[in-house]
Amino acid sequence: MAEIYIGEEDYRSFEDKTFGDYLEQRYPELYAKALAVKFASEKKDLSARIPGPGKIEVLTFETEEGREIFWHSSAHILAQAIKRLYPDAKFDDGPALKHGPGHFFYDIYLEHKISEDDFPRIEEEIAKIVKEDLPLKRRTMSRQEALAYFQQKGEIFKVDILKRLSDNTEISLYRQGEFEDLCRGPHIPSTGKAGVFKLTAVSGAYWKGDAANPMLQRVYGVSFPTQEELEKYLAKLEEARKRDHRKLGQELKLFLFVEEGPGFPFYLPRGTVLFNTLCEYIREECVKRGYVEIRTPIMLSQDLWVRSGHYENYREHMYFSEVEKKGFAIKPMNCPGSILVYQSELRSYRDLPLRQAELGLVHRHELSGVLHGLFRVRSFTQDDAHIYCTYEQLEGEIEKAISFTKEVYERFGFKNILVYLATRPEKSMGSEEAWQKATQALIKALAKTGTAYQVKEGEGAFYGPKIEFNIEDALERHWQCGTIQVDFNLPERFALEYIGPDGKKHQPVMIHRAILGSLERFMAILLEHYNGKLPLWLSPVQVKILTISQEQLVYAQEVLQELRKAEIRCELDDSNEKISYKIRQWNAEKINYAVIIGRKEAAEKLISVRSRGHQETETMPLEQFLEKLRAEIAQKNCVN
RNA sequence: GCUGCCUUAGCUCAAUCGGUAGAGCAACUGCCUUGUAAGCAGUAGGUUGCCAGUUCGAUUCUGGCAGGCAGCUCCA
């Protein structure tokens, strides 16, 4: 970022001038790129008067704050274009974005339904506005004046925004040509600096984000200073589209969705291997840390869910059924089942902490509109666990769970992990004191493990506060995976107890935790993260044997048997095709290794090995290849 | 669930103005006996998502339903 100091003397000669004037004279090259400035940690328009000597930070498209201003101004230009084409459009809000389907959007009320077919017309009008190079002029007025002004223009949404502001706020407006918008600013100096645009999406958005409110139309767009940058962005989008796990899942034959089961994934043979491999990994890691594993039924009596509070607090996400006039529910969570296992024996303090893991299949009714490949489904398997411990053990157990979680993410190569602390929601049960204690325990453990986190107010589970772990995928999207929750409520509701050293009954505390979260979601993240090129230990098919001609079939079968005996996941391509065709197929399947067998290899009882992403082959005895595979699998290396 | 868009062979996509559908890949069969990213030929594959309506006639127009996509709201 360019920083400039305007000294006492210099300032005197620019006393009545603007930042723009100053830059234009002193730093013409920088002026050409400047969008706005930051002075005394306040963002200002270039047309703002210099208030005094000091540091000026010049905001250009190269800076994050500069881009935000650029895109915010883009939203204004979008609105202006729409107003020109549809004069009865009313505008709500049009901010810049950090993530999502565009750099900016504008929420609009308009009778005409804007469709993608309208985009070219709107884009054309935007280009005209950019070409007109209209200066953006700021003016201020009182809130009362602004209210009257927008009322008279019929901009009812702007009026609503103004009504929510306090009375002594100074209101600023920005005008570009015939279009004027309520806005805090700052903005780029003129529409000529806005560059090239592309509209990317149109959809509905609830007014003020409330589902009870009517819907506005939200038009999304992207913009860049130059055409090249726009094209580069579009190419990146295309790359992301190719990485979509839904597409990879189909191409690699991993999983399937059918009309008969919306949101209920089917695992194909290869996807099942991946699923099972992840389960095995989690099991091993749990065993190392003193967990025991249980399995509980998918369907349990409705009374149980009433007792646990799910019926009261979670009903809209549950599936119900009736058998012999008795109500049943399919489990949306594993905790009540786990509790019944805890209660099956009289527990002693010597049994605690009891770490009870379950790879549990849960069903949750999700609204149809939120389903999204494996990221968002209606039935999924959680790598769940419930830890029953004494109050004294609580913090230590949370700390262990935090480091366990971090270790697992590291294994898969996820570097960026965001942690949140979600506190008591409105719809929840239990005493305020229990919530306080539980939340404090989480905070202490976070501090002790040196975990940076942000607070999500009111986003906890209905029975307790939670730590949420989000990992960042290759497309820089964040996905919630792991969670650690402290629960005083379910032990209370189910009257859980253990016999203490004093021979008396005490109530244990419960920790709910999941690391991968949903195996389905985690698989999807892995697929996008690795672009379908799974590391060897996770690959459904690790090796494919390709014969040069039918002559080598017998030897190829022998090699296949040997590899399978060594528990290598292996397939043989015995089709009557040329080797180049088989290589092409092998590559498309993203299988880690190809073993190529021709006349030479068969004669010498050797194999030729080619690895994914490489052109060269290496000829070796089968045993040597097996050693190499064993070593690589044992490493569970996830760096490609 | 809400708003908008989409649905044609296993997959990716065509089909003019309303005249009952085609291609490539995959599959299958045969030929070639193949040396590192598509060998050649042939065969089969469809109630155009489902149900109504308009029409002499609907893949095409209208309505409803289902599923999908993007976003909103929600979330592991």
Extract the runs of DSSP E, i.e. beta strands, from A406-560: 417-422, 454-456, 466-472, 478-487, 498-499, 505-506, 509-518, 543-547
Q: How far, in Å, CA of A615 to CA of A612, rounded?
A: 8
**Active-site annotation holds for A386:** yes
Please report the pLDDT score of residue A213 as a whole number: 87
Dump pLDDT digits (tens) for A299-350.
Answer: 999 999 999 999 999 999 999 999 999 999 999 999 999 999 999 999 999 9
Q: Which residue has the least CA–C1' distance to nucleotide B33?
A: A549
Q: Which nucleotide is nearest to A599 (CA to C1')?
A: B35
Q: Which residue has the least CA–C1' distance to nucleotide B68?
A: A259
Please report the pLDDT score of residue A49 as a whole number: 87
| ipTM at complex level | 0.94
Residue A371 CA to nucleotide B50 C1', Å?
22
The DSSP bridge partners found for residue A218 are A107, A203
Q: How far, in Å, CA of A524 to CA of A471, rounded?
A: 12
Give me the catalytic one of A335, A389, A481, A570. A335
- Rg (chain A; Cα; Å): 31
Indicate the helix (H) or strand (E) that contains A242. helix A227-243
Residue A117 CA to nucleotide B17 C1', Å?
22
Residue A249 CA to nucleotide B34 C1', Å?
32
Structure tokens at A212: 């009870």
Please report the pLDDT score of residue A570 as a whole number: 97
**Active-site annotation holds for A382:** yes
Q: How far, in Å, CA of A203 to CA of A181, rounded?
A: 22
Indicate the helix (H) or strand (E) that contains A404. helix A394-411
Residue A512 CA to nucleotide B3 C1', Å?
37
Q: Which nucleotide is nearest to A374 (CA to C1')?
A: B76
Residue A112 CA to nucleotide B5 C1', Å?
15
Query: Order of strands across the sheet with A104-109?
Result: A90-91, A104-109, A215-224, A196-206
Residue A535 CA to nucleotide B52 C1', Å?
52
**Active-site annotation holds for A384:** yes
Q: Which nucleotide is nearest to A244 (CA to C1')?
A: B69
Q: Which nucleotide is nearest to A264 (CA to C1')?
A: B67
**Active-site annotation holds for A364:** yes
Q: Which nucleotide is nearest to A205 (CA to C1')?
A: B72
Q: How many alpha carbons fall within 13 Å on the CB side of residue A545?
A: 30
Give me the catalytic one of A363, A386, A424, A544. A386
Q: How far, in Å, CA of A366 to CA of A372, rounded?
A: 11
Q: What one-character-per-residue DSSP string does A40-104 give?
A: TTEEE-TTSBP-SSEEEEEE-TTSHHHHHHHHHHHHHHHHHHHHHH-TT-EE----B-SSSSSSE
Residue A114 CA to nucleotide B70 C1', Å?
14
Q: Which nucleotide is nearest to A201 (CA to C1')?
A: B70
Q: Which residue has the least CA–C1' distance to nucleotide B73?
A: A211
Q: Which residue has the least CA–C1' distance to nucleotide B4?
A: A203
Residue with tokens 């549990």: A360
Dihedral, CA atoms, A161, A166, A167, A173, nearest 10 degrees?
Answer: -40
Number of C-beta neighbours around residue A317 at 10 A: 16
Q: How far, in Å, CA of A274 to CA of A145, rounded?
A: 64
Q: What angle do CA A93, A98, A102 make, to 5 degrees?
A: 70
Residue A348 CA to nucleotide B22 C1', Å?
74
First and final CA of chain A: distance in angstroms?
A: 35
Contact A139, A175 (CB under 8 A): yes
Contact A59, A33 (CB under 8 A): no
Name residues whose C-beta falls within 8 Å of residue A353's C-beta, 6 or more positions apart in sequence: A387, A388, A389, A390, A393, A397
At A627, the amino acid letter reads E
Give me the catalytic one of A38, A76, A83, A364. A364
| CB-proximal positions of chain B, under 7 Å | 1-5, 11-12, 27, 31-39, 66-76
Contact A84, A91 (CB under 8 A): no
Give me the catalytic one of A512, A569, A582, A610. A512
Please report the pLDDT score of residue A403 as a whole number: 96
Q: How far, in Å, CA of A384 to CA of A332, rounded?
A: 12
Structural domains in chain A plus CATH codes: 2-59 (3.10.20), 64-240 (3.30.980.10), 255-529 (3.30.930.10), 543-635 (3.40.50.800)
Q: Which nucleotide is nearest to A102 (CA to C1')?
A: B71
Indicate the helix (H) or strand (E) that contains A622. helix A622-635
| Cα distances (angstroms) measured from residue A36 to each of A174, A231, A294 | 14, 25, 61
Residue with tokens 């969008």: A35
- Nearest in space to A18 (alpha carbons), one of A53, A58, A46: A46
Low-confidence residues of chain A: pLDDT under 50: none
